[in-house]
Amino acid sequence: MNTDGISEKKEVNREPSVHLIVFKLGSEEYGIRIEQVKEVTLTPEIARMPKTPSFIKGVANIRGDIIALLDLEERFHIGSPESSTEIVKEKQKSYTLVLEAKDFTIGLLVREVPHSLTIPISRIEKTPSFIQDLQINDNYIEGIGKLGDRLIIVLDIHKILTFEEAELLKD
């Protein structure tokens, strides 16, 4: 015990980490940095819009803001077309992650309740560039986090859409 009134400072070796919102697409876990997520809500009624890409399921009114809802399973070609239709039909059982990018706000449709997780940066490995989808902006996969047996694909939501798609969402 320190008797001179000055408390001892313990050297705490805090490893830098990131706080993610984790959700499933197909059978894999994906994560988005929590600072990119504005809110998580039950999926509201979706209004389909003409002349939009098939992975944009329509628009919805979330707390007074009309935002486009995006189905990443369809965008990444990891779900069957029936599964994306199911998520829209079963909207009461699905959730929407509301994400704020620089110029637009979008919603991501997910089937299960997303949860938060903190992972040390040292456990996130860079992804080889050949894994990236050439039709989407480069490096939208920030890395792959390893926690025990779990692999979490960490996305940079700002790079998922092409420039043209982002411009479409601004309108």
Spatial distance between the Cα atoms of 40 and 144, rounded to a whole number of angstroms: 23
Spatial distance between the Cα atoms of 31 and 12, rounded to a whole number of angstroms: 27
In a domain, 114, yes or no: yes
Residue 46 belongs to what domain range?
17-80+89-168
In the chain, the number of structural domains is 1
pTM: 0.77
In a domain, 41, yes or no: yes
- pLDDT tens digits for the chain (171 residues)? 444 545 555 555 678 999 999 999 888 999 999 999 999 999 999 999 888 888 889 999 999 999 999 998 888 888 655 555 555 555 456 899 999 877 788 999 998 889 999 999 999 998 766 555 555 555 788 899 999 999 999 998 878 777 777 776 665
Strand-pair category, 17-25 with 115-120: antiparallel
> Residues 142, 154: contact at Cβ < 8 Å?
yes
Name the amino acid, one letter, at 14. R
